[in-house]
Copies of this chain bind each other. A is one copy, B any other.
Amino acid sequence: MDLAADDSTAGTVAAGTVATGSVATDNLAPRIMAMSRTEAVMAEIRRRLAGRALTAGEKLPSIRRFAREMRVSPSTVVEAYDRLAAEGLIRSRAGSGFFVAGGVPPVALADAGPRLDRAIDPLWVSRQSLDAPPDMLRPGCGWLPADWMPGPAIRRAIRALARADDRVLTEYGGTRGSPALRQLLARQCATEGLDVGTDQILLTASGTQAIDLLCRFLLNPGDTVLVDDPCYFNFQTVLRASRAKIVSVPYTPAGPDMARFMEALATHRPRLYITNSALHNPTGATLSPQTAHRLLTAAAAHDLTIVEDEIFADFEPEPSPRLAGLEGLNRVIRIGSFSKTLSASIRCGYIVARADWIEGLLDLQVATGFGGPSPVAAELVLGTLGDGSYRKHLAALRGRLARRRREMLDALEGLGFTAWTLPRGGFYLWCHLPEGRDAAELARAALAERVVLAPGNAFSVMQSAGDLMRFNVAQMNPDVLRVLGRALR
Protein backbone atom coordinates (compact mmCIF):
# COMPACT_ATOMS: atom_id res chain seq x y z
CA MET A 1 0.00 0.00 0.00
CA ASP A 2 1.33 3.38 -0.97
CA LEU A 3 -1.27 6.04 -0.42
CA ALA A 4 1.34 8.79 -0.67
CA ALA A 5 1.74 7.94 -4.32
CA ASP A 6 -1.81 9.09 -5.09
CA ASP A 7 -1.21 12.78 -5.19
CA SER A 8 2.02 12.61 -7.06
CA THR A 9 0.44 10.42 -9.73
CA ALA A 10 -2.52 12.72 -10.04
CA GLY A 11 -0.22 15.71 -10.07
CA THR A 12 1.76 14.67 -13.11
CA VAL A 13 -1.24 15.00 -15.44
CA ALA A 14 -2.33 18.33 -16.79
CA ALA A 15 -5.93 18.99 -17.79
CA GLY A 16 -5.78 18.28 -21.49
CA THR A 17 -8.00 18.08 -24.50
CA VAL A 18 -8.97 15.47 -27.02
CA ALA A 19 -10.85 17.20 -29.79
CA THR A 20 -12.90 15.00 -32.08
CA GLY A 21 -13.16 17.42 -34.93
CA SER A 22 -9.84 19.25 -35.06
CA VAL A 23 -6.16 18.47 -34.80
CA ALA A 24 -5.58 17.28 -31.25
CA THR A 25 -2.85 18.78 -29.17
CA ASP A 26 -0.86 17.83 -26.10
CA ASN A 27 -1.87 14.29 -25.45
CA LEU A 28 -1.69 13.08 -29.00
CA ALA A 29 1.58 14.81 -29.76
CA PRO A 30 3.85 12.10 -28.36
CA ARG A 31 2.00 9.43 -30.30
CA ILE A 32 2.08 11.46 -33.48
CA MET A 33 5.81 11.97 -33.04
CA ALA A 34 6.29 8.24 -32.76
CA MET A 35 4.68 7.82 -36.20
CA SER A 36 6.16 8.91 -39.49
CA ARG A 37 4.89 12.26 -40.73
CA THR A 38 2.96 10.53 -43.50
CA GLU A 39 1.30 8.22 -41.01
CA ALA A 40 0.40 11.18 -38.83
CA VAL A 41 -1.33 12.88 -41.76
CA MET A 42 -3.16 9.65 -42.60
CA ALA A 43 -4.18 9.21 -38.98
CA GLU A 44 -5.59 12.72 -38.87
CA ILE A 45 -7.71 12.13 -41.99
CA ARG A 46 -8.93 8.83 -40.56
CA ARG A 47 -9.80 10.63 -37.37
CA ARG A 48 -11.85 13.23 -39.23
CA LEU A 49 -13.68 10.46 -41.07
CA ALA A 50 -14.36 8.65 -37.82
CA GLY A 51 -15.52 11.84 -36.11
CA ARG A 52 -17.69 12.53 -39.18
CA ALA A 53 -15.84 15.83 -39.69
CA LEU A 54 -15.34 14.56 -43.24
CA THR A 55 -18.06 12.60 -44.93
CA ALA A 56 -18.71 10.56 -48.09
CA GLY A 57 -18.29 12.66 -51.22
CA GLU A 58 -16.76 15.59 -49.40
CA LYS A 59 -13.60 17.28 -50.67
CA LEU A 60 -10.49 16.81 -48.56
CA PRO A 61 -8.48 19.87 -47.50
CA SER A 62 -6.21 21.02 -50.33
CA ILE A 63 -2.68 19.66 -50.19
CA ARG A 64 -1.16 23.06 -49.62
CA ARG A 65 -3.60 24.00 -46.86
CA PHE A 66 -3.37 20.69 -45.05
CA ALA A 67 0.43 20.73 -45.25
CA ARG A 68 0.38 24.12 -43.52
CA GLU A 69 -2.11 22.91 -40.92
CA MET A 70 -0.16 19.75 -40.09
CA ARG A 71 3.22 21.53 -40.37
CA VAL A 72 4.54 19.03 -42.89
CA SER A 73 5.70 19.40 -46.47
CA PRO A 74 3.16 19.22 -49.32
CA SER A 75 4.86 16.06 -50.60
CA THR A 76 4.10 14.34 -47.28
CA VAL A 77 0.41 15.15 -47.71
CA VAL A 78 0.51 13.90 -51.33
CA GLU A 79 2.02 10.63 -50.14
CA ALA A 80 -0.57 10.30 -47.34
CA TYR A 81 -3.47 11.01 -49.71
CA ASP A 82 -2.11 8.52 -52.24
CA ARG A 83 -1.88 5.82 -49.60
CA LEU A 84 -5.41 6.53 -48.33
CA ALA A 85 -6.62 6.36 -51.93
CA ALA A 86 -4.89 2.99 -52.32
CA GLU A 87 -6.80 1.84 -49.22
CA GLY A 88 -10.02 2.96 -50.93
CA LEU A 89 -10.89 5.52 -48.26
CA ILE A 90 -10.56 8.51 -50.58
CA ARG A 91 -10.33 8.98 -54.32
CA SER A 92 -8.86 11.62 -56.57
CA ARG A 93 -10.78 13.38 -59.29
CA ALA A 94 -8.60 14.70 -62.08
CA GLY A 95 -8.07 18.42 -61.69
CA SER A 96 -10.27 18.84 -58.64
CA GLY A 97 -8.48 17.20 -55.74
CA PHE A 98 -9.25 14.36 -53.34
CA PHE A 99 -12.69 13.32 -52.10
CA VAL A 100 -13.97 10.96 -49.46
CA ALA A 101 -14.99 7.70 -51.14
CA GLY A 102 -18.74 7.17 -51.15
CA GLY A 103 -20.90 4.16 -50.37
CA VAL A 104 -18.78 3.02 -47.50
CA PRO A 105 -19.73 4.72 -44.26
CA PRO A 106 -17.16 6.65 -42.27
CA VAL A 107 -14.73 4.45 -40.37
CA ALA A 108 -15.88 3.01 -37.12
CA LEU A 109 -15.61 4.63 -33.72
CA ALA A 110 -12.76 2.32 -32.84
CA ASP A 111 -10.66 4.03 -35.48
CA ALA A 112 -11.18 7.51 -34.05
CA GLY A 113 -7.74 8.78 -33.29
CA PRO A 114 -4.46 7.26 -34.33
CA ARG A 115 -4.59 3.49 -33.98
CA LEU A 116 -4.15 2.75 -30.30
CA ASP A 117 -2.58 -0.26 -28.78
CA ARG A 118 -5.62 -2.59 -28.74
CA ALA A 119 -5.01 -3.43 -25.09
CA ILE A 120 -5.79 0.17 -24.16
CA ASP A 121 -8.47 0.98 -26.73
CA PRO A 122 -11.56 1.54 -24.54
CA LEU A 123 -13.96 -0.04 -27.04
CA TRP A 124 -11.73 -3.01 -27.52
CA VAL A 125 -11.57 -3.62 -23.76
CA SER A 126 -15.41 -3.52 -23.62
CA ARG A 127 -15.84 -5.86 -26.54
CA GLN A 128 -13.14 -8.22 -25.30
CA SER A 129 -14.77 -8.48 -21.87
CA LEU A 130 -18.27 -8.95 -23.28
CA ASP A 131 -17.32 -11.43 -25.99
CA ALA A 132 -14.74 -13.51 -24.10
CA PRO A 133 -15.69 -17.20 -24.26
CA PRO A 134 -16.84 -18.69 -20.95
CA ASP A 135 -13.52 -20.43 -20.30
CA MET A 136 -11.58 -17.15 -20.25
CA LEU A 137 -10.92 -15.36 -16.96
CA ARG A 138 -12.07 -11.76 -16.78
CA PRO A 139 -10.57 -9.81 -13.85
CA GLY A 140 -10.73 -6.81 -16.24
CA CYS A 141 -14.49 -6.85 -16.65
CA GLY A 142 -17.03 -4.63 -14.90
CA TRP A 143 -19.52 -7.06 -13.43
CA LEU A 144 -19.91 -9.75 -10.80
CA PRO A 145 -19.86 -13.48 -11.60
CA ALA A 146 -23.29 -15.05 -12.11
CA ASP A 147 -23.20 -16.88 -8.77
CA TRP A 148 -22.80 -13.59 -6.85
CA MET A 149 -26.13 -12.33 -8.19
CA PRO A 150 -29.60 -12.86 -6.63
CA GLY A 151 -30.55 -15.84 -8.79
CA PRO A 152 -33.39 -17.24 -6.63
CA ALA A 153 -35.11 -13.83 -6.36
CA ILE A 154 -34.79 -13.33 -10.12
CA ARG A 155 -36.31 -16.76 -10.78
CA ARG A 156 -39.21 -15.96 -8.45
CA ALA A 157 -39.77 -12.69 -10.34
CA ILE A 158 -39.74 -14.57 -13.66
CA ARG A 159 -42.28 -17.11 -12.45
CA ALA A 160 -44.52 -14.25 -11.27
CA LEU A 161 -44.15 -12.59 -14.68
CA ALA A 162 -45.49 -15.77 -16.34
CA ARG A 163 -48.75 -15.06 -14.46
CA ALA A 164 -48.94 -11.35 -15.36
CA ASP A 165 -51.68 -9.72 -17.40
CA ASP A 166 -51.53 -10.13 -21.20
CA ARG A 167 -51.08 -6.38 -21.60
CA VAL A 168 -47.94 -6.42 -19.46
CA LEU A 169 -46.55 -9.22 -21.63
CA THR A 170 -47.37 -7.78 -25.04
CA GLU A 171 -47.87 -3.99 -25.06
CA TYR A 172 -45.35 -1.16 -25.30
CA GLY A 173 -46.34 0.35 -21.97
CA GLY A 174 -46.19 4.06 -21.10
CA THR A 175 -43.39 6.31 -22.29
CA ARG A 176 -41.95 6.93 -18.81
CA GLY A 177 -41.78 3.26 -17.91
CA SER A 178 -43.35 1.27 -15.04
CA PRO A 179 -45.02 3.64 -12.52
CA ALA A 180 -44.42 1.14 -9.70
CA LEU A 181 -40.68 0.96 -10.41
CA ARG A 182 -40.48 4.75 -10.58
CA GLN A 183 -42.29 5.00 -7.24
CA LEU A 184 -39.80 2.58 -5.73
CA LEU A 185 -36.90 4.68 -7.08
CA ALA A 186 -38.52 7.86 -5.74
CA ARG A 187 -38.74 6.28 -2.27
CA GLN A 188 -35.06 5.30 -2.49
CA CYS A 189 -34.18 8.89 -3.38
CA ALA A 190 -36.25 10.11 -0.43
CA THR A 191 -34.20 8.01 2.01
CA GLU A 192 -31.17 10.01 0.83
CA GLY A 193 -33.00 13.29 1.38
CA LEU A 194 -33.72 13.81 -2.31
CA ASP A 195 -37.42 14.51 -2.76
CA VAL A 196 -38.52 13.69 -6.28
CA GLY A 197 -41.84 12.99 -7.93
CA THR A 198 -42.32 10.10 -10.34
CA ASP A 199 -42.48 12.72 -13.12
CA GLN A 200 -38.81 13.38 -12.41
CA ILE A 201 -37.83 9.79 -13.19
CA LEU A 202 -37.47 8.24 -16.63
CA LEU A 203 -36.71 4.56 -17.15
CA THR A 204 -34.20 3.87 -19.94
CA ALA A 205 -32.97 0.80 -21.79
CA SER A 206 -29.70 0.81 -19.78
CA GLY A 207 -27.42 3.02 -17.70
CA THR A 208 -25.24 3.67 -20.73
CA GLN A 209 -28.29 4.56 -22.77
CA ALA A 210 -29.28 7.02 -20.04
CA ILE A 211 -25.93 8.79 -20.47
CA ASP A 212 -26.22 8.70 -24.25
CA LEU A 213 -29.71 10.18 -24.11
CA LEU A 214 -28.49 12.96 -21.83
CA CYS A 215 -25.53 13.73 -24.08
CA ARG A 216 -27.81 13.99 -27.10
CA PHE A 217 -30.25 16.14 -25.15
CA LEU A 218 -27.73 18.50 -23.59
CA LEU A 219 -24.87 18.73 -26.08
CA ASN A 220 -24.23 20.19 -29.47
CA PRO A 221 -21.46 18.64 -31.57
CA GLY A 222 -18.20 20.24 -30.49
CA ASP A 223 -19.42 21.12 -26.97
CA THR A 224 -16.84 20.44 -24.29
CA VAL A 225 -17.43 17.84 -21.59
CA LEU A 226 -15.31 17.31 -18.47
CA VAL A 227 -14.48 13.82 -17.29
CA ASP A 228 -12.19 12.51 -14.58
CA ASP A 229 -8.76 11.16 -15.38
CA PRO A 230 -9.07 8.23 -14.94
CA CYS A 231 -12.77 7.64 -15.66
CA TYR A 232 -15.03 4.78 -16.78
CA PHE A 233 -13.72 4.05 -20.25
CA ASN A 234 -17.09 4.04 -21.94
CA PHE A 235 -17.62 7.71 -21.02
CA GLN A 236 -15.03 8.44 -23.70
CA THR A 237 -16.79 6.41 -26.39
CA VAL A 238 -20.31 7.60 -25.60
CA LEU A 239 -19.09 11.20 -25.70
CA ARG A 240 -17.30 10.55 -28.96
CA ALA A 241 -20.59 9.30 -30.39
CA SER A 242 -22.07 12.71 -29.51
CA ARG A 243 -19.08 14.40 -31.17
CA ALA A 244 -18.22 16.12 -27.91
CA LYS A 245 -14.81 17.55 -27.11
CA ILE A 246 -13.48 15.73 -24.04
CA VAL A 247 -11.38 17.47 -21.40
CA SER A 248 -10.13 15.47 -18.45
CA VAL A 249 -9.19 16.57 -14.94
CA PRO A 250 -6.95 14.52 -12.65
CA TYR A 251 -8.88 12.58 -10.03
CA THR A 252 -7.67 12.37 -6.44
CA PRO A 253 -8.84 10.01 -3.68
CA ALA A 254 -11.23 12.79 -2.55
CA GLY A 255 -12.67 13.65 -5.96
CA PRO A 256 -11.45 15.75 -8.87
CA ASP A 257 -8.38 17.93 -8.32
CA MET A 258 -10.26 21.18 -7.73
CA ALA A 259 -7.46 23.53 -8.80
CA ARG A 260 -7.31 21.76 -12.15
CA PHE A 261 -11.09 21.61 -12.29
CA MET A 262 -11.35 25.39 -11.90
CA GLU A 263 -8.67 25.87 -14.53
CA ALA A 264 -10.57 23.63 -16.94
CA LEU A 265 -13.82 25.52 -16.29
CA ALA A 266 -12.16 28.83 -17.06
CA THR A 267 -10.22 27.62 -20.09
CA HIS A 268 -12.65 25.27 -21.78
CA ARG A 269 -16.11 26.48 -20.64
CA PRO A 270 -17.47 22.93 -20.56
CA ARG A 271 -21.21 22.31 -20.85
CA LEU A 272 -21.23 19.10 -18.82
CA TYR A 273 -19.25 17.10 -16.25
CA ILE A 274 -19.79 13.33 -15.97
CA THR A 275 -18.59 11.51 -12.88
CA ASN A 276 -19.28 8.82 -10.27
CA SER A 277 -19.49 10.33 -6.78
CA ALA A 278 -19.80 7.04 -4.89
CA LEU A 279 -17.19 4.36 -5.56
CA HIS A 280 -15.69 6.06 -8.57
CA ASN A 281 -14.82 3.83 -11.53
CA PRO A 282 -11.98 2.75 -11.83
CA THR A 283 -10.42 4.09 -8.61
CA GLY A 284 -13.04 3.08 -6.04
CA ALA A 285 -12.55 6.51 -4.44
CA THR A 286 -15.43 8.48 -2.91
CA LEU A 287 -16.09 12.20 -3.29
CA SER A 288 -15.39 14.10 -0.05
CA PRO A 289 -18.04 16.50 1.32
CA GLN A 290 -15.63 19.45 0.91
CA THR A 291 -14.90 18.64 -2.72
CA ALA A 292 -18.62 18.09 -3.37
CA HIS A 293 -19.42 21.54 -2.04
CA ARG A 294 -16.64 23.23 -4.00
CA LEU A 295 -17.72 21.39 -7.13
CA LEU A 296 -21.31 22.56 -6.84
CA THR A 297 -20.28 26.15 -6.16
CA ALA A 298 -18.03 26.12 -9.21
CA ALA A 299 -20.75 24.48 -11.33
CA ALA A 300 -23.23 27.21 -10.40
CA ALA A 301 -20.73 29.96 -11.17
CA HIS A 302 -19.88 28.47 -14.58
CA ASP A 303 -23.34 27.25 -15.58
CA LEU A 304 -22.13 23.66 -15.67
CA THR A 305 -24.52 20.70 -15.72
CA ILE A 306 -23.40 17.55 -13.88
CA VAL A 307 -24.33 13.95 -14.60
CA GLU A 308 -23.80 11.83 -11.48
CA ASP A 309 -23.60 8.17 -12.44
CA GLU A 310 -24.74 6.19 -9.38
CA ILE A 311 -24.23 2.76 -10.85
CA PHE A 312 -22.08 1.53 -7.92
CA ALA A 313 -24.00 3.33 -5.16
CA ASP A 314 -25.65 0.19 -3.72
CA PHE A 315 -22.22 -1.22 -2.87
CA GLU A 316 -21.48 1.55 -0.34
CA PRO A 317 -21.59 0.48 3.32
CA GLU A 318 -23.52 3.71 4.02
CA PRO A 319 -24.36 6.50 1.55
CA SER A 320 -21.65 9.12 1.03
CA PRO A 321 -22.55 12.72 0.09
CA ARG A 322 -24.09 12.96 -3.35
CA LEU A 323 -24.14 15.97 -5.61
CA ALA A 324 -27.83 15.40 -6.40
CA GLY A 325 -28.66 15.22 -2.68
CA LEU A 326 -26.73 18.39 -1.89
CA GLU A 327 -27.88 20.43 -4.84
CA GLY A 328 -31.37 19.09 -5.45
CA LEU A 329 -31.51 18.43 -9.20
CA ASN A 330 -31.25 21.98 -10.46
CA ARG A 331 -28.10 21.34 -12.43
CA VAL A 332 -27.32 17.81 -11.28
CA ILE A 333 -28.78 14.76 -13.02
CA ARG A 334 -28.66 11.34 -11.41
CA ILE A 335 -28.45 8.22 -13.49
CA GLY A 336 -28.16 4.58 -12.54
CA SER A 337 -29.04 1.01 -13.42
CA PHE A 338 -29.47 -2.41 -11.85
CA SER A 339 -26.76 -4.19 -13.82
CA LYS A 340 -24.19 -4.43 -11.05
CA THR A 341 -26.23 -5.74 -8.12
CA LEU A 342 -29.31 -7.34 -9.70
CA SER A 343 -28.74 -8.43 -13.30
CA ALA A 344 -26.99 -7.19 -16.41
CA SER A 345 -29.21 -9.44 -18.52
CA ILE A 346 -32.42 -7.73 -17.38
CA ARG A 347 -31.43 -4.36 -18.77
CA CYS A 348 -32.97 -1.24 -17.30
CA GLY A 349 -31.52 2.14 -16.40
CA TYR A 350 -32.99 5.39 -15.12
CA ILE A 351 -32.57 9.14 -15.11
CA VAL A 352 -33.60 11.37 -12.20
CA ALA A 353 -33.75 15.02 -13.23
CA ARG A 354 -35.82 18.18 -13.35
CA ALA A 355 -39.35 17.47 -14.58
CA ASP A 356 -38.98 19.82 -17.57
CA TRP A 357 -35.81 18.02 -18.66
CA ILE A 358 -37.52 14.64 -18.25
CA GLU A 359 -40.23 15.85 -20.66
CA GLY A 360 -37.64 16.63 -23.31
CA LEU A 361 -35.75 13.40 -22.67
CA LEU A 362 -38.99 11.49 -23.03
CA ASP A 363 -39.54 12.93 -26.51
CA LEU A 364 -35.99 12.02 -27.45
CA GLN A 365 -36.42 8.48 -26.13
CA VAL A 366 -39.65 8.01 -28.08
CA ALA A 367 -37.92 9.36 -31.21
CA THR A 368 -34.85 7.15 -30.88
CA GLY A 369 -36.18 4.00 -29.20
CA PHE A 370 -39.98 4.28 -29.15
CA GLY A 371 -39.71 3.94 -25.39
CA GLY A 372 -37.20 2.84 -22.80
CA PRO A 373 -36.48 -0.59 -21.33
CA SER A 374 -38.42 -3.71 -22.28
CA PRO A 375 -41.51 -3.45 -20.06
CA VAL A 376 -40.94 -7.12 -19.14
CA ALA A 377 -37.42 -6.19 -17.99
CA ALA A 378 -38.81 -3.39 -15.81
CA GLU A 379 -41.29 -5.88 -14.32
CA LEU A 380 -38.49 -8.31 -13.50
CA VAL A 381 -36.41 -5.55 -11.87
CA LEU A 382 -39.42 -4.46 -9.84
CA GLY A 383 -40.18 -8.05 -8.83
CA THR A 384 -36.59 -8.73 -7.75
CA LEU A 385 -36.13 -5.42 -5.88
CA GLY A 386 -39.45 -6.03 -4.13
CA ASP A 387 -38.49 -9.57 -3.14
CA GLY A 388 -37.98 -9.82 0.61
CA SER A 389 -34.54 -11.32 0.06
CA TYR A 390 -33.04 -8.44 -1.92
CA ARG A 391 -31.88 -6.33 1.04
CA LYS A 392 -30.23 -9.36 2.56
CA HIS A 393 -28.59 -10.10 -0.79
CA LEU A 394 -27.11 -6.59 -0.83
CA ALA A 395 -25.86 -6.83 2.76
CA ALA A 396 -24.29 -10.23 2.09
CA LEU A 397 -22.74 -8.93 -1.13
CA ARG A 398 -21.11 -6.02 0.69
CA GLY A 399 -19.64 -8.32 3.30
CA ARG A 400 -18.40 -10.83 0.76
CA LEU A 401 -16.81 -8.07 -1.32
CA ALA A 402 -15.11 -6.50 1.71
CA ARG A 403 -13.48 -9.84 2.53
CA ARG A 404 -12.54 -10.45 -1.11
CA ARG A 405 -11.02 -6.97 -1.47
CA ARG A 406 -8.80 -7.59 1.55
CA GLU A 407 -7.71 -11.02 0.33
CA MET A 408 -6.97 -9.84 -3.18
CA LEU A 409 -5.18 -6.74 -1.97
CA ASP A 410 -2.88 -8.98 0.08
CA ALA A 411 -2.33 -11.25 -2.90
CA LEU A 412 -1.67 -8.35 -5.27
CA GLU A 413 0.70 -6.71 -2.81
CA GLY A 414 2.51 -10.01 -2.67
CA LEU A 415 3.07 -9.64 -6.42
CA GLY A 416 4.40 -6.10 -6.02
CA PHE A 417 1.20 -4.11 -6.77
CA THR A 418 0.20 -1.20 -4.51
CA ALA A 419 -3.35 0.14 -4.12
CA TRP A 420 -3.92 3.72 -5.28
CA THR A 421 -6.56 4.09 -2.57
CA LEU A 422 -8.56 1.78 -0.29
CA PRO A 423 -12.15 1.69 -1.62
CA ARG A 424 -15.01 1.72 0.92
CA GLY A 425 -16.92 -0.81 -1.16
CA GLY A 426 -17.49 -2.29 -4.59
CA PHE A 427 -15.43 -4.75 -6.57
CA TYR A 428 -12.61 -2.66 -7.99
CA LEU A 429 -9.02 -2.24 -6.88
CA TRP A 430 -7.04 0.37 -8.80
CA CYS A 431 -3.42 -0.60 -8.37
CA HIS A 432 0.02 0.65 -9.29
CA LEU A 433 2.13 -1.96 -11.01
CA PRO A 434 5.50 -2.93 -9.60
CA GLU A 435 8.10 -0.23 -10.38
CA GLY A 436 8.96 0.03 -14.05
CA ARG A 437 6.24 -2.31 -15.36
CA ASP A 438 3.76 -1.35 -18.07
CA ALA A 439 0.06 -2.20 -17.75
CA ALA A 440 -0.62 -2.58 -21.49
CA GLU A 441 2.29 -5.00 -21.78
CA LEU A 442 1.01 -7.00 -18.80
CA ALA A 443 -2.50 -7.04 -20.34
CA ARG A 444 -1.11 -8.39 -23.59
CA ALA A 445 0.86 -11.10 -21.83
CA ALA A 446 -2.19 -12.10 -19.76
CA LEU A 447 -4.44 -12.21 -22.84
CA ALA A 448 -2.08 -14.74 -24.38
CA GLU A 449 -2.94 -16.89 -21.35
CA ARG A 450 -6.68 -16.25 -21.80
CA VAL A 451 -7.01 -13.67 -19.01
CA VAL A 452 -8.69 -10.34 -19.87
CA LEU A 453 -7.26 -7.43 -17.86
CA ALA A 454 -8.19 -3.72 -17.80
CA PRO A 455 -4.98 -1.70 -18.16
CA GLY A 456 -4.93 1.85 -16.78
CA ASN A 457 -4.73 3.80 -19.99
CA ALA A 458 -8.07 2.42 -21.17
CA PHE A 459 -9.48 4.73 -18.47
CA SER A 460 -7.26 7.72 -19.12
CA VAL A 461 -7.97 10.40 -21.71
CA MET A 462 -4.49 11.74 -20.99
CA GLN A 463 -2.92 8.28 -21.27
CA SER A 464 -1.41 8.97 -17.88
CA ALA A 465 -2.20 5.63 -16.25
CA GLY A 466 0.26 3.35 -18.01
CA ASP A 467 1.49 1.98 -14.69
CA LEU A 468 -1.98 1.29 -13.25
CA MET A 469 -4.42 -1.60 -13.56
CA ARG A 470 -8.08 -2.02 -12.53
CA PHE A 471 -8.83 -5.37 -10.91
CA ASN A 472 -12.32 -6.77 -10.35
CA VAL A 473 -11.77 -8.69 -7.14
CA ALA A 474 -14.88 -10.84 -7.61
CA GLN A 475 -13.48 -12.17 -10.89
CA MET A 476 -10.03 -12.97 -9.42
CA ASN A 477 -8.94 -16.47 -8.46
CA PRO A 478 -5.69 -18.40 -7.93
CA ASP A 479 -5.37 -18.96 -11.70
CA VAL A 480 -5.48 -15.23 -12.37
CA LEU A 481 -2.86 -14.62 -9.68
CA ARG A 482 -0.62 -17.32 -11.18
CA VAL A 483 -0.90 -15.76 -14.65
CA LEU A 484 -0.09 -12.32 -13.21
CA GLY A 485 2.87 -13.76 -11.32
CA ARG A 486 4.26 -15.47 -14.41
CA ALA A 487 3.77 -12.39 -16.58
CA LEU A 488 5.59 -10.18 -14.06
CA ARG A 489 8.48 -12.54 -13.56
Listed in ascending order, the chain A residues whose CB lies under 8 Å from chain B are 52, 55-57, 102-110, 123, 126-127, 130-131, 134, 143-144, 146-147, 149, 151, 154-155, 158-159, 161-162, 165-176, 205-209, 212, 216-218, 220-221, 223, 234, 237-238, 240-241, 269, 271, 303, 305, 331, 339, 343-348, 356-357, 359-360, 362-364, 366-371, 373-377, 380
Contacts and interface: CB of A to CB of B under 8 A. Distances in A.
A91 to B, nearest CB: 12
**Which of A105, A212, A223, A238 has the most chain B CB atoms inside 10 A of its CB?**
A105
A393 to B, nearest CB: 12
A371 B347 contact: yes
A172 B303 contact: no
Contacts of A371: 130, 206, 347
A241 B216 contact: yes
A123 B144 CA distance: 39
Given A159-B159, A208-B370, 11 more contacts: A126-B175, A130-B366, A130-B371, A151-B169, A169-B346, A171-B344, A207-B370, A346-B376, A347-B374, A347-B375, A374-B377
A367 B240 contact: yes
Contacts of A168: 345
Given A105-B218, A146-B170, A366-B237, A155 B151 contact: no
A127 B172 CA distance: 11
B360 A175 contact: no
Contacts of A52: 220-221
Contact of A131 (B134, B174, B369): B174
A303 B212 contact: no
B166 A147 contact: yes
**Which of A134, A165, A175, A348 has the most chain B CB atoms inside 10 A of its CB?**
A175
Given A173-B130, A374-B373, A208 B345 contact: no
A56 B303 contact: yes
Contacts of A303: 56-57, 102-103
A380 B57 CA distance: 43
Task: Count identical subunits in the complex.
Answer: 2
Nearest to A211: B368
Given A162-B162, A344-B171, A55 B370 contact: no
Contacts of A147: 166
Given A209-B368, A360-B108, A170 B158 contact: no
**Which of A57, A131, A357 has the most chain B CB atoms inside 10 A of its CB?**
A131
A366 B123 CA distance: 7
A345 B374 contact: yes
A373 B376 CA distance: 12
Contacts of A134: 167
A66 to B, nearest CB: 20
Nearest to A375: B345
Nearest to A158: B162
Contacts of A377: 347, 374, 376-377
Nearest to A167: B146
A366 B126 contact: yes
Contacts of A217: 105
A147 B167 CA distance: 8
A175 B130 contact: yes
Contact of A205 (B144, B205, B367, B376): B205
Contacts of A205: 205-206, 209, 347, 369
Contact of A105 (B143, B207, B357): B357
Contacts of A269: 57
A414 B119 CA distance: 69
Given A108-B359, A172-B345, A345-B169, A238 B367 contact: yes
B223 A130 contact: no
Contacts of A108: 359-360, 363-364
Contacts of A57: 269, 303
14 contacts: A55-B223, A57-B269, A146-B165, A146-B167, A168-B345, A169-B346, A170-B345, A173-B345, A205-B347, A212-B369, A237-B366, A343-B376, A373-B374, A376-B377
Given A108-B363, A303-B57, A371-B206, A344 B172 contact: yes
